[in-house]
Amino acid sequence: MLERRVVPRAGALALIVAAAVSADAAEQRFPKPDFKSGYVQPVYHPPTPARSAVREWADVAVLAAALGAAAWLALRARSRRGLWALSVASLVWFGLVRKGCICPVGSIHNVALALVDPVYGLPLVTALIFALPLVAALLWGRVFCAAVCPLGVIQDLVVWRPVRLPTALNRALGMLGPTVLAFGIALTAAGAGFWICRYDPFVGLYRRSGPAGMIATGIGLLLIGVVVARPYCRFFCPYGVLLSWGSRLSRRHLGITPDECIQCRLCERSCPFDAIRGPEPPHVDRSAARRALVRALWAAPLFVAGAAWAGRAALDALAPVVHPAVALERELRAEDAAGTPDLTWETRVFRLSGEPRESAAAAAAAARHRLRLAGLWAGAFVGFVGAGRIVASVRRSDRREWVPDRGECLSCGRCFAHCPREYVRLGRLDGPMGNP
Among 316, 342, 401, 405, binds another protein (CB under 8 A): 401
Q: Is 392 buried (19+), middle (13-18) or exposed (0-12) by CB count in 10 A?
A: exposed
Residue 296 beta carbon to another protein: minimum distance, rounded to whole angstroms: 21
- Least distance between ligand SF4 and beta carbon 171 (Å): 17
Ranges within 376-405 binding ligand SF4 (CB under 6 A): 404
Query: Computed from CA positions of residues 137, 81, 72, 271, in that sequence, does the dihedral angle turn out positive or negative?
Result: negative
Q: Would you count residue 412 as binding ligand SF4 (CB under 6 A)? A: yes
Determine the interface stretch with ligand SF4 among 117-125, 265-273, 339-347, 391-399 (rule: CB under 6 A).
265-273
Give yes or no for residue 203 binding ligand SF4 (CB under 6 A).
Answer: no
Does position 348 bind another protein by CB under 8 A? yes
Q: 153: closest CA among 71, 215, 95, 239?
A: 95
Question: Is position 376 an interface residue for another protein (rule: CB under 8 A)?
Answer: no
261 lies in the site for ligand SF4, by CB under 6 A: no
The helix or strand, by DSSP H or E, that contains position 276, with its residue range, turns out to be: strand 276-277
The piece of 171-179, 221-229, 250-258, 311-319 that touches another protein (CB under 8 A) is 250-258
Work out how close the CB of 272 gets to ligand SF4 at its nearest, in angstroms, rounded to a whole number.
Answer: 7
Nearest to 383 by CA among 298, 295, 306: 306
> In this chain, which of 240, 379, 383, 420 binds ligand SF4, going by CB under 6 A?
240
Q: State how far the Cα of 194 lies from the Cα of 189, in Å rounded to an integer.
A: 10
Other C-beta atoms closer than 10 Å to the C-beta of 7 total 8
- Residue 296 as a binder of ligand SF4 (CB under 6 A): the answer is no
| DSSP annotation string for 116-182 | H-TTS---HHHHHHHHHHHHHHHHHSSHHHHHT-HHHHHHHTT--SPPPPPHHHHHHHTTHHHHHHH
Beta carbon nearer to another protein, 275 or 307:
275
**Residue 304 lies near another protein (rule: CB under 8 A):** no
Binding to ligand SF4 (CB under 6 A) within 148-187 occurs at 149, 151-152
Please, are residues 150 and 95 in contact by the beta-carbon 8 Å criterion? yes
Q: Provide the minimum distance between the beta carbon of 220 and another protein in the complex, in angstroms, as a whole number.
A: 19
Residues 207-236 that bind another protein (CB under 8 A): 207, 209-211
Question: Among residue numbers 336 through 365, which ones bind ligand SF4 (CB under 6 A)?
Answer: none
Cβ(186)–Cβ(111) below 8 Å: no
- Among 140, 414, 419, 422, contact with ligand SF4 (rule: CB under 6 A): 414
Interface with ligand SF4 includes 189 (CB under 6 A)? no
Burial of 5 (0-12, 13-18, 19+ CB in 10 A): exposed
Residue with nearest beta carbon to ligand SF4: 152
The answer to the question of residue 321 lying near another protein (CB under 8 A) is: no
Q: How far is the CB of 182 from another protein (least distance, A)?
A: 16
When the beta carbons of 125 and 394 are compared against another protein, the nearer one is 125
Q: Does 415 bind ligand SF4 (CB under 6 A)?
A: yes
C-alpha Rg value of the chain to the nearest Å: 28
User: 210 near 204, Cβ under 8 Å?
Assistant: yes
Task: Quote the CA–CA distance of 383 and 306 in Å, as a whole number.
Answer: 8
Residues 81-110 within binding reach of another protein (CB under 8 A):
99, 101-102, 106-107, 109-110
Residue 403, classed as helix, strand or coil, is: strand
When CB distances are held under 5 to 8 angstroms depending on the partner's kind, the choice from another protein, ligand SF4, none that residue 428 binds is none
Phi, psi (deg, nearest 5) at residue 403: -140, 155
- Decide which of ligand SF4, another protein, none touches 134; Cβ closer than 5 to 8 Å per partner kind: another protein
Q: Could you tell me the smallest distance in angstroms from the CB atom of residue 413 to ligand SF4?
A: 5
Tell me if the bond preceding 102 is cis, omega within 30° of 0. Answer: yes
Interface pick for another protein out of 194, 199, 377, 423 (rule CB under 8 A): 194
- What's the number of CA atoms in the CB half-sphere (13 Å) around residue 20? 13
Q: Which residues bind ligand SF4 (CB under 6 A)?
A: 105, 144-145, 149, 151-152, 232-233, 237, 239-240, 243, 254, 270-271, 273, 275-276, 404, 409-415
